[in-house]
Structure 1
């Protein structure tokens, strides 16, 4: 028990996601032409109170990031073409640094369980089921080199040390000590970059995961350890509210390319680009927008709310709380989230019950007759004031699938439509 406590303290000291500031994830279109950088269509795609960070691209349309809901951090999948968010997993532990696993229909993430256990897991994109990937290392940050090989920062004593792990063959090899949290495949090479903190001046180094060879590439901006590569070989780093670039063998120092304060961005933490470097994700805290913002016409809100005074994050929290009460068969807590005039429909528009009294009677009987009742959310989409859940329900020894569409107004569920 003492070792778990010490591990948790060490975990906190590496500033993962506990007691983190309120951060958001922004998506930008990026164009690089003749050395000039142009950023357009800046959009807050997380738009959620709390911690939203560690974004990554699955492809040019799908984005993963860690997001807080109901007091814990889980994996969100954002679809740019539909402007929608789907929760990938529903575990009791908190998930961080989600990445698509190469050549597999799954994502990986570092999970911190409530008992203090911290490990790297995979999560199926089909049903959300999780599998432990590396059982004997406390992984904090990582990247995939290929579908079998992970390069990671591992917590050991008072340091983060660099390991290469082969999931298929089951081996781990240490290649560097005192490293940072930023790992990236270097474009057009068989190398991975990492941040070395062995000296007072931090450096960006390359690693060959096959041979273990390392080489210095450049110094970081002072005190900054988050970076990304572009397909043209440029490196980007963010500090405060500004982005900087460094072109190897050309630039002597990091050069400022944009001030993002016009988007209300401050204290940039994570940045990452897509495979062809025409889109960029920026995770940062939110500051006040400039008083004169007439020219900033590209900033958009991700929330597609209808005429509804409840925020998108609150809508999802209400539905999740209601699901928890359903699984606990707590009729009072369950009914508390519904409006007095709530209506239940069978898809598309067959009215089943109207009003809380009729609904309570039906569900009270259902709860009393179903001791093994449990609904597992396979997939969730949140659009404005609507939550769409694909559910796998266990009841009286049988399992069936259903879809529930919730509509929330003024903090209460006013309508539910079921599809079976």
Structure 2
């Protein structure tokens, strides 16, 4: 949105989803650290792309938006192509995970009816069947093909539940846990994030004996993690990935800090079985979203321009006078304006990014006239939700 307006007359997954992308890196080990190279955006899709895991060393599976729902996508690293595992039409799938010793994956499905259950999907055919009845599973990992470890919705939070599929039993190990569940490499243990105390802790669990042990406190308020094959934990927060190896480290150390604005808020990390690759998920930064809007404005591309806004976008004159509301109202105004302004161009003289807000000082050309203005953009879930203009 340019300031020319100044001059013109449930369930668990049923929440607003952010605009995220999945990136893939090559992991190169060196003395006491690792280097991440060969950055690729493997989702490259407008909407929710999240929850990556590795089916094998050549395929990354993740939840991806298409046709108004979330399905399971598979990225072939060698061929650099995306394929789709399922097309059920019953609802949306999340958290796809390889099932041990099977050519199949498990995924949480949120049906259009609101029912949320864990399903098994054949990797080749997409045929599906329910894995565990009655449990509302949010996140999961496999200890073996018969033992499932899950974060289960209960009493407004998540419980750690061990399910023995062969025996048909479900045992609640602990209440108040996080979403990140992983098999610890070269061990018979699972890791999980305990939220019982004010300071969150990464703990290990032996699903057979029930024994637990604290490993380390999490990076403050960080939620997601993964294990490298050498026993190092990676945990992201903001644009930084931290590392901790229980065998050699006494505290978290910064592994890498990304300067790419596309990687400003990393929320997920996952590695392949040999730890030669790392998949990460990042929200699209407010700066990138506003820049896409600027580029579409200068190209006078009405559809690309409107794609950067929420459906209920609100426009204000500073400080709080509402002038316009709704994407369709913007279409009526700007479609005609773009067509009758062939020299339209906005240049950014200064830009400040503070949290989810982008403040642009703009120099605008339109029909032979030039003028300056300021716009304050507010971003919610990957879209511009509010713009305030200062005359």
Taking structure 2 as the reference length, the TM-score comes to 0.69
Runs of 4+ in structure 1 over 3 Å off: none
Q: Contact 1:159/1:178 (CA < 8 Å) preserved in 2?
A: yes
Aligned length in residues: 280
Cα distance in 2 for partners of 1:104, 1:257 equals: 34
Task: Indicate the residue corresponding to 1:71 in structure 2.
Answer: 68
SS in 2 for 1:270: strand
CA RMSD of aligned residues (A): 1.7
SS in 2 for 1:198: coil
SS in 1 for 2:260: helix
Task: Indicate the residue corresponding to 2:187 in structure 1.
Answer: 189
Question: What pairs up with 1:227-238 in 2 under 5 angstroms?
Answer: 227-238=225-236
The CA deviation string for residues 82-126 of structure 1, in whole angstroms up to 9 with x for no partner, is 111111111221100001111111111000111111100001123
Picking from 250, 266, 269, the partner of 2:264 is 266
Question: What pairs up with 1:3-402 in 2 under 5 angstroms?
Answer: 8-9=10-11, 11=12, 16=13, 18-91=15-88, 92-262=90-260, 264-287=262-285, 288=287
SS in 1 for 2:143: strand
Cα distance in 1 for partners of 2:22, 2:122 equals: 23
The CA deviation string for residues 229-287 of structure 1, in whole angstroms up to 9 with x for no partner, is 11111110000111110121433321111112326212111101111111000011123
Cα distance in 2 for partners of 1:261, 1:88 equals: 34
Cα distance in 2 for partners of 1:123, 1:262 equals: 36
The CA deviation string for residues 104-152 of structure 1, in whole angstroms up to 9 with x for no partner, is 1111100011111110000112321110000021100010111111100
SS in 2 for 1:264: helix
Task: Indicate the residue corresponding to 1:348 in structure 2.
Answer: none
The CA deviation string for residues 329-363 of structure 1, in whole angstroms up to 9 with x for no partner, is xxxxxxxxxxxxxxxxxxxxxxxxxxxxxxxxxxx
Cα distance in 2 for partners of 1:20, 1:136 equals: 25
Cα distance, 1:37 vs. partner? Answer: 1.6
The CA deviation string for residues 275-333 of structure 1, in whole angstroms up to 9 with x for no partner, is 111100001112357xxxxxxxxxxxxxxxxxxxx99xx9xxxxxxxxxxxxxxxxxxx
Cα distance in 2 for partners of 1:58, 1:247 equals: 25
Cα distance in 2 for partners of 1:261, 1:269 equals: 16
Q: Contact 2:70/2:92 (CA < 8 Å) preserved in 1?
A: yes
Q: Contact 1:22/1:50 (CA < 8 Å) preserved in 2?
A: yes
Give unmatched runs, 5+ long, in structure 1: 1-7, 290-309, 315-420
Q: Contact 2:262/2:282 (CA < 8 Å) preserved in 1?
A: no
Cα distance in 2 for partners of 1:120, 1:79 equals: 24
Cα distance in 2 for partners of 1:126, 1:230 equals: 28
SS in 2 for 1:76: strand
Taking structure 1 as the reference length, the TM-score comes to 0.65
SS in 1 for 2:280: strand
